[in-house]
Structure 1
């Protein structure tokens, strides 16, 4: 979805509403966001942050990288993951979305909501929604993929939700070894812990990754953290 004006102009309109109507700035920003088709300003700003960051993230990924994309719900992590795949497809790479959260219809709808120019690529994007998604399943599915293929897994914390699947730590280790061997890039959408306090730090970091089950986060090579329209990409190893 394209905005009616650049984001700095939207902020200027919100400040005019503050002076005209004597309302708090956050209410004025939310009103502007609703006019642009978003429920609140944080969703609008997160969409813009994710969209502007995705190409930068892709350019910094090396073959065989394991990437964490982490943030609270509604702060753009799924959008960033999908836009990363769309940018990879535009770059001529194979791009696959493994999701244990969305149906294919929901995922396609999310893709169609992104900026114009992605839709043709989005229709060709491979989306896998099997309940059997796990490290072994992903490795089998990607076994014939070329180096530089990009896959995003939605999401890290539920890979081992079924008792029949291996421990999360074992799955991440297997996927790390597979990525190193084949040059496939794997991105993991990730939750962060509720203890993260944006009043103390504007962005979460590696310490805030929610880990209901033990995982060595040193297996990942890069991480991108998002919150309230801000984002930062970091090297882990």
Structure 2
């Protein structure tokens, strides 16, 4: 969906609306977003952030990378993951979406929100929806994947939600080893802790990843964090073997 004006102009329009009608700025922003076809401003800004960030991010990823995509709910982390996969497919790579959150129909709807009804690009995306998704399942599925394949796991914090699955730290170690050996890129959509305060810093970082079960964040090599239409991509120092 194309915006009627650049996002900075929409923000300016919202500020004028808030001043003229004496309403809170967040109410004015949501009204502008609805006029643009979005349920709220956070969804509009998330869409802008994902479209601008994914193609830039793909060019900065290397074979074997372990990537974290982190944001609070409604700020675009899932859309960013899907956009990354679509850009990978556009680049001639294989793209796989492992999701414990959505069924295939819901995922296809999100693809259409990014690509439109007439695009066939999403048909090449492989979507895996199963309660069995875990490190072993991912490794088996990607065993024959070509170098440079991009896989997105949705999401990090529920890989070990079933008691019959290994603890999360062990799964991440296994997946890092697999990524390095096969040159597959693994991206993990991640929740951000509720204690994150955008008033103290505009974007979350690695310290804000919600980890109910301990994981060595040094196992990841890259990260991208989103909030209110802003994004920051960063490299992470690899953990010594």
Settle same-fold status: TM greater than 0.5: yes
Which consecutive residues of structure 1, in runs of 5 or more, have no partner in the other structure?
A: none
Are the structure 2 counterparts of residues 55 and 172 from structure 1 closer, same or farther at C-alpha, using a change threshold of 3 Å? same
Q: Secondary structure at the match of 1:59?
A: helix
Tell me which residue corresponds to 1:44: 44
* 1:98 maps to 2:98: yes
Tell me the alpha carbon deviations over residues 150-174 of structure 1, each in whole angstroms, 9 at most, x when there is no partner. 0000000000111111111111000
Are the structure 2 counterparts of residues 118 and 226 from structure 1 closer, same or farther at C-alpha, using a change threshold of 3 Å? farther
Alpha-carbon distance, 1:136 to partner: 0.5
Tell me which residue corresponds to 1:198: 198
Which consecutive residues of structure 2, in runs of 5 or more, have no partner in the other structure?
A: none
Tell me which residue corresponds to 1:167: 167
Tell me the alpha carbon deviations over residues 81-105 of structure 1, each in whole angstroms, 9 at most, x when there is no partner. 0000000000000000000000111
Q: Secondary structure at the match of 1:114?
A: helix
- Paired with 1:60 and 1:70, the residues of 2 have a C-alpha distance of 17
Alpha-carbon distance, 1:7 to partner: 1.7
Q: Secondary structure at the match of 2:120?
A: helix
Is contact 1:43–1:74 with CA below 8 Å preserved after alignment?
yes
Q: Secondary structure at the match of 2:8?
A: helix
Q: Secondary structure at the match of 1:140?
A: helix
- Paired with 1:139 and 1:151, the residues of 2 have a C-alpha distance of 11
Are the structure 2 counterparts of residues 9 and 115 from structure 1 closer, same or farther at C-alpha, using a change threshold of 3 Å? farther
Are the structure 2 counterparts of residues 118 and 95 from structure 1 closer, same or farther at C-alpha, using a change threshold of 3 Å? farther
Give 1:152-231 correspondences, 5 Å limit: 152-231=152-231
Is contact 1:148–1:183 with CA below 8 Å preserved after alignment?
yes
Alpha-carbon distance, 1:118 to partner: 8.5
Alpha-carbon distance, 1:40 to partner: 1.4
Tell me which residue corresponds to 2:109: 109
- Paired with 1:117 and 1:87, the residues of 2 have a C-alpha distance of 17
Is contact 1:152–1:186 with CA below 8 Å preserved after alignment?
yes
Tell me which residue corresponds to 1:21: 21
- Paired with 1:64 and 1:126, the residues of 2 have a C-alpha distance of 19
Q: Secondary structure at the match of 1:88?
A: helix
The alignment yields a C-alpha RMSD, in angstroms, of 1.4
Are the structure 2 counterparts of residues 223 and 153 from structure 1 closer, same or farther at C-alpha, using a change threshold of 3 Å? same
Alpha-carbon distance, 1:228 to partner: 1.2
- Paired with 1:133 and 1:198, the residues of 2 have a C-alpha distance of 33
**Mean Cα deviation higher: 57-66 or 192-201:** 192-201
Is contact 1:97–1:127 with CA below 8 Å preserved after alignment?
yes
Count how many residue pairs are aligned between Structure 1 and Structure 2: 237
- TM-score if structure 2 supplies the norm length? 0.94
**Mean Cα deviation higher: 22-31 or 188-197:** 22-31
